[in-house]
Amino acid sequence: MPLLFALVLFLFSFHVRTAFSAHCSITTPTKTFEKCMTLPTQQASIAWTFHAHNATLDLVFSGTFISPSGWVGWGINPSSAEMTGTRALIAFPDPNSGQLVLLPFILDPTVKLQKSPPLSRPLDIHLLSSSATLYGGKMATIHNGAAIQVYATLKLVPNKTKIHFVWNRGLYVQGYSPAIHPTTSNDLSSIATIDVLSGFSAAHRDDTRTLKIAHGILNAISWGVLLPIGAATARYLRHIQALGPTWFYVHAGIQLCAFIIGTVGFAIGIRLGELSPGVVYGLHRKLGFAAFSFGALQTLALLFRPKTTNKFRKYWKSYHHFVGYACVVLGVVNVFQGFEVMGESRSYAKLGYCLCLSTLIGVCIALEVNSWVVFCRKSKEEKLRREGLISCGSGKGSGIHG
C-alpha cells in the first residue's frame, strides 16, 4: 500500500508539473503583444494584440519542429473547432534551397481522409500579412526541436472575437505538401477556442485533459496495480495455514476495490470517447472492453462460487484462474497502450509505473521461488515419511499377523 500511494502521488505530481511547466511570452525579438496563452499541447503558445476599433488581430504562434525535414503550422477554422475547414499557414524547409518557407493551405475533407496531398492555395479569409522566423535569426537552422515563430495580421468579422485555433506539426514534407501529422492523443487534441478580446479559452478542452489524467491514473492503479496484487495475494497467501480464511477476504477485498475503481476509469474512458468524435483508439478500446468484461465475469463468479464439496468446484476453479489471469494480462497491457495513446510513452509517469510493476514482479518471483522450495522440501519429507512407514510396517508384520 505505501508503494501504491507513492505511485499515485508520483503520477499526480507529474501531471500537475506538466500542466504548469509551459509558459508564454508577450515579447518576441521583433514585436511586443498585449496578451499571450500557453496552448495545451506540443509546448506551443500564442501571443496577440486585438485592435477592437477595426477588428484587426496581430498574432504570433510559437512552436517547435520534430524533424529537420518536418513542418509546423497553425490556422483558424471559421466555423467549428476541428481540423477540417481550417485556413492554415504552414512553415517547412524548401525542398530545393533548404530555406524556411511559409505557405497558405485550406484543409478540406480530402486532406483528413488522405485522398490527396494538401496543395497550397490563397486563403479566403482577410489575411493582411504573414511571415515566419526561426528562433536564433537568419543563421538558425531547422533541426529536431528548432523553435519557430509564425506571425500574421488578420481582419476579423466585426463583433466576433472568438476564434477556433488549430495547430500541429509533422515529420516530413512531400514536395511542397505537408505529410500527415502523428496521431497521438496530444496531436489530435491541438484545438482551442479563444476569445481574443478577453483572453480566455473554452473550458471544455481543459475538462477533457482533466478527464484524461483521471482516466489514466484510475486505470493504472486498478487494472495495472491492484488487480495483479490481488492475484498474487490469492496465489501466495492461501498456503499459509496460520492465516486461515483471511487470505480469501483479503484477495476478494483487493479485487473488488480494483474492479470498482476500474469501473470508474472505464466510464470516464467512455465519456472521453463521446467528447472526442472522430478520435478512435481501436486497440486501446478493444483491450479496455475485454478487460472490463473479464473483470465483470470474475465479480459475478464470486456470487456463484460452489462449496468445496461440490463436484463442479474444480470446473469453477479452472474458470476462475483462466479468466482472472487473462484479466490481469489484459489490464497491464492496456495500461502500456494507454501511455502510448496519451503521448506519454517516454514520460516519467510511465517510468514510475514500470518501477512499481517491476517491484511487484520481483516480489512475486521471490515468493514463487520460496513456494517451490517449500513444496520440494515437503515432498521430500513426505517421501521419507512414507518410506519410514513402509519399512516400519514390514518390520512388524509378523508380530501383527501373529
Binding site as annotated, residues for heme b: 215, 251, 284, 320
Spatial separation of the C-alpha atoms in residues 92 and 114, rounded to whole Å? 20
293: enclosing H helix or E strand: helix 282-303
Spatial separation of the C-alpha atoms in residues 63 and 142, rounded to whole Å? 12
- Bridge partners (DSSP) listed for residue 173: 178
Residue at grid coordinates 469501473: 263
* Binding-site residues from annotation: 215, 251, 284, 320
End-to-end Cα distance, the chain: 65
398: enclosing H helix or E strand: helix 397-401
Spatial separation of the C-alpha atoms in residues 309 and 146, rounded to whole Å? 71
Spatial separation of the C-alpha atoms in residues 370 and 359, rounded to whole Å? 17
Reference 225, options 250, 252, 257, 249; nearest CA is: 257
140: enclosing H helix or E strand: none
Q: How many CA atoms lie within 13 A of 43 on its CB side?
A: 11
Instruction: Please count the helices (runs of H) and the strands (runs of E) in the chain.
Output: 10, 12
Q: Using CA atoms in the order 202, 26, 62, 148, what is the torsion angle rounded to 10 degrees?
A: 170
Please give the sequence-ordered ranges of beta strands (E in DSSP) within 191-268, or none if there are none: 191-195
Q: Please spell the DSSP secondary structure of 330-344, one letter per residue.
A: HHHHHHHHHHHHTT-
**CB distance 128 to 136 below 8 Å:** no
Read off the C-alpha cell for 373.
522450495
- Bridge partners (DSSP) listed for residue 130: 152
Contacts of 146 (CB under 8 A, 6+ apart): 64, 65, 134, 135, 140
